[in-house]
């Protein structure tokens, strides 16, 4: 990635990596409140319609637990606030949610597994107070492996992540699976308004709880790990999406990651979503007519 950010002052970098300051809909504090409200209401509408299997362990850590959600109607329902966007993907089998004390949640769909990782920058910082970047990445990889092991009949894995969650989903793509007992069959990845190079945030508030060194940032930057992607361009489809009103740095992160993937022959497309900001781009996943929803369903062969 180009090193344009090195010329920026700290306050400008922090503005660039503060998504709420770039919304055209409302003031920064208001857009966050509206996002929280939308997430809460979406979850409340979805709550109560599913049978659940809760706190199934996928690791030895206290927070390494897996929740299974089995819809009792044609509508997907989930409990946690961060799980609500995927409720749209109805008329398909089982849903699972995996969460740790450190990580955004992972939602998986059976028999074609759909993994959803969501985290805002603020959530990222809060979670990092409890651990470190290496551990976060390790746990999200472990949770994916556990889902595949427990449901060995699945025919493929689809990843989706938003914001810092897109970073974690991209790190799953960059996994050296020889270190694990299985190699998941990843058929697609849907990366929304993500961060793919951690070096620019080293001098910002985001790194204050993380205390990442340059070495840690590099080994956890998907854009630096593209050479080790072992995905077949014929079987794994990657969509890199960015909001029209994301900050210039967020937009550049997506553009550079897309171009780097493309240069290695990956099956990747980029979606610049008009009339959206960092929050509305993911909030609209409840709308079946939303462009990204149609793309996601098409990727999974459900359109």
Which one is catalytic: 163, 221, 254, 280?
163
Q: What is the pLDDT of residue 99?
A: 41
Sheet holding 65-71, edge to edge: 50-57, 65-71, 94-99, 106-110
CA torsion, ordered 255, 260, 266, 271, to nearest 10 deg: 0
278 classed as catalytic:
yes
**Where in the chain are the domains?**
4-299
- Closest alpha carbon to 240 in 281, 284, 199: 281
The answer, as to whether pTM is greater than 0.85, is no
pLDDT in tens, 53-81: 667 777 787 667 665 655 554 433 433 44
Which one is catalytic: 67, 82, 197, 246?
246
Q: What is the pLDDT of residue 52?
A: 61
Angstrom distance (rounded) from CA 127 to CA 102: 5
Which one is catalytic: 35, 162, 167, 278?
278
CA atoms within 13 A on the CB side of 265: 9
Q: Which CATH architecture has domain 4-299?
A: 3-Layer(aba) Sandwich (3.40)
Q: What average pLDDT is seen over the chain? A: 75
Stretches in the chain below the pLDDT threshold 70: 1-7, 42-54, 62-63, 65-131, 154, 230-234, 302-303
Q: Which residue has the tokens 């009339």?
A: 275
Is 199 buried (19+), middle (13-18) or exposed (0-12) by CB count in 10 A? middle
246 classed as catalytic:
yes
- Closest alpha carbon to 163 in 194, 122, 139: 194
Q: What is the pLDDT of residue 62?
A: 66
């Amino acid at each position: 990635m180009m090193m344009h950010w090195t010329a920026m002052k700290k306050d400008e970098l922090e503005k660039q990596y503060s998504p709420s300051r770039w919304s055209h809909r409302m003031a920064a504090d208001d857009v966050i409140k509206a996002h929280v409200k939308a997430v809460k209401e979406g979850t409340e509408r979805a709550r109560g319609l599913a049978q659940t299997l809760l706190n199934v362990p996928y690791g030895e850590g206290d927070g390494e637990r897996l929740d299974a959600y089995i819809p009792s109607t044609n509508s997907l329902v989930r409990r946690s606030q961060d799980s609500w966007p995927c409720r749209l993907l109805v008329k398909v089998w089982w849903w699972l949610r995996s969460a740790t004390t450190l990580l955004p949640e992972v939602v998986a769909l059976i028999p074609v597994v759909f993994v959803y990782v969501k985290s805002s920058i603020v959530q990222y910082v809060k979670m990092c107070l409890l651990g470190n970047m290496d551990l976060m990445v390790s746990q999200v990889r472990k949770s994916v492996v556990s889902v595949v092991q427990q449901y060995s009949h699945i025919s493929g894995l689809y990843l989706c992540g938003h914001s810092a969650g897109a970073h974690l989903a991209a790190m799953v793509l960059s996994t050296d699976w020889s270190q694990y007992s299985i190699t998941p069959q990843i058929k697609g990845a849907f990366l929304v308004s993500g961060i793919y190079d951690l070096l620019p945030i080293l001098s910002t508030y985001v790194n204050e709880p993380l205390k990442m060194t340059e070495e840690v940032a590099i080994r956890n930057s998907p854009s630096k790990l593209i050479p080790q992607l072992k995905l077949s361009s014929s079987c794994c489809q990657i969509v890199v999406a960015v909001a029209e009103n994301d900050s210039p740095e967020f937009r550049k992160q997506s553009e550079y990651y897309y171009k780097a993937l493309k240069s290695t022959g990956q099956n990747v497309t980029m979606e610049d979503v008009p009339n959206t900001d960092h929050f509305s781009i993911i909030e609209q996943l409840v709308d079946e007519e939303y462009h990204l929803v149609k793309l996601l369903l098409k990727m999974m062969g459900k359109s």
